[in-house]
Structure formats: structure tokens, C-alpha cells
Structure 1
Amino acid sequence: MMILVHNAFRRDLNRLRIIATDAATDPAALAALRTAWQTFSEYLVIHHTAEDDTLWPISGERLGDRTDRATLLTDMVDEHAQLDPLLAAVETDLAEGHTSVLPMRFERLAEVLVAHLDHEETAALPLTRSRH
């Protein structure tokens, strides 16, 4: 299920990137971008909050005292925190109509988010299934 959610974030972020390229010259594209962004950002925050508040702590307790595993789970929370200023920048630029920087903002957000999702899927999620 987690992979499906991550794939939806990848898909929707790619769509946001495409719409952002037209937002500076097309008022309808800007309106669509604002609406889509609201939904995307809300679901991303809910998803990451659930992981930080529930999944990672429970996984940490189950996995015991292995430093490498504890470090990895801490990395997941830290990677979520790295996204916060990027999300805030998009939010501000959309609210203030700074449309010329939106393609760059979405490009950077995509780089960081996709790297995080890939890291989580290859390193952290397998640990949540592990018993030792």
C-alpha cells in the first residue's frame, strides 16, 4: 500500500511540474495549480506526519537497539523536515503570485521528494517488515 501512495505522490508532483510551466501566462493553469497544490500538500503532510508519529516510532521499538536501524529511522524524519521549507516556498509563491519561480520550485521539490521516497522504499520500508 505504501508504494502505491508514494507512486501517487510521484505522479501528481510530475503533473504539478507540468502545470507550473504554464502558470505564469495562463490564469486557468494558475488556478488549477493552486487547487491541485492544496490537495497534494495536505495529503503529503498527513502521510509524513503519520509516518513520523506512528510508523517510525513503532518500527524503532520493534527493531531494538541496532544503531544502524535507529539512524535510518531518524534519517526518515530528517528527510521529512528537509521538505518543509520547500513546501512552504511553493505555498508562499502561489499565494503571492510569484509564478516565474514555480517551475524551479517544483523541480527542486521533485528532486528532494523523489530521493526521499526512493530511500524510504529501499531502506526503511523493508525494516518495517523485519522482526530482527
Structure 2
Amino acid sequence: MRGGTPSTEDFGQRLRLLRARAGLSQEALSHAAGVSVRALADMERGRTRGPQRRTVQALAEALGLDEDEAAGLEEAAALGRPRLPLRARPPGRPGVRRRRAGSGPRQRGRAPAGLGTRLRRRGTPAAGPVGRGTHATA
């Protein structure tokens, strides 16, 4: 142990030891940190090896960790986050996913493109190919 912090590099084991040292149950820590009990249990078991930074920060705050301990917990979490080698990363800003042109978020409940603003009543079919959501249900 270094400065009261477990020396293990495994995030889940470190989190479990810190929670036990603080005397908190999984339910109490999950409530204080604003994460679900399931997510916390998954982190401790190693199913989630590299949680997001804001989750680790919330856990560190709920556990009452000092800056060094919080940094150690974040470092253990960062080791579990998969990183692509530089050659495999797509061009552009690092960490930003690129979308294909015209592949914006799907909007449910809207008429398919090209149908205009035709008012549709329940059960009235709209023009378009069969099986493509052209039958109004609302």
C-alpha cells in the first residue's frame, strides 16, 4: 500500500478495497456517487474495467478520497480503457467519432423523407415502399 491506497493496478479490486475502507455498502456508494448498484458491482467484478472519467470522479468524491488517491483510481481506470494504436485511429480529432454524410440520428415518429407534410390519420396508409414504416400508426 502506498499512502493508504491499495497498490493493485486492477481498478475493480482497488475500488472494492477503497469502498470497504470507507465502510460503505455497494448500495450506499452507488447512491452517493449517482451510479447504479449494477454498474458499481460490474466495476468491482471487473466486467467494466475502464469507466468514464466523470464516473471515477463521482466515486472518488463519494469515497472521500484525497487528490492523490483519486488520481490513482483514475489511473487504474484509464489502464482499463482500450486505446487504438495511432495507425488504426481514423483521421480527424482524437476521440471524436466521424459519421457518414447523411447518417444523422434517426427520428422516430416522423414521416419518411419525400412524403412532405401530408396529414395522416390512424390506419391510413402513406405512399412508399412496403415494409418501410409507411403505414401511419398515430
Does the pair score TM above 0.5? no
Greater share of residues in helix: 1
Which structure has the larger Rg?
Answer: 2
Q: Which has the higher contact order (CA 8 A, sep 6+)?
A: 1
Pairwise TM-score range, normalised by the shorter structure: under 0.3
TM-score (norm 2): 0.27
TM-score (norm 1): 0.28
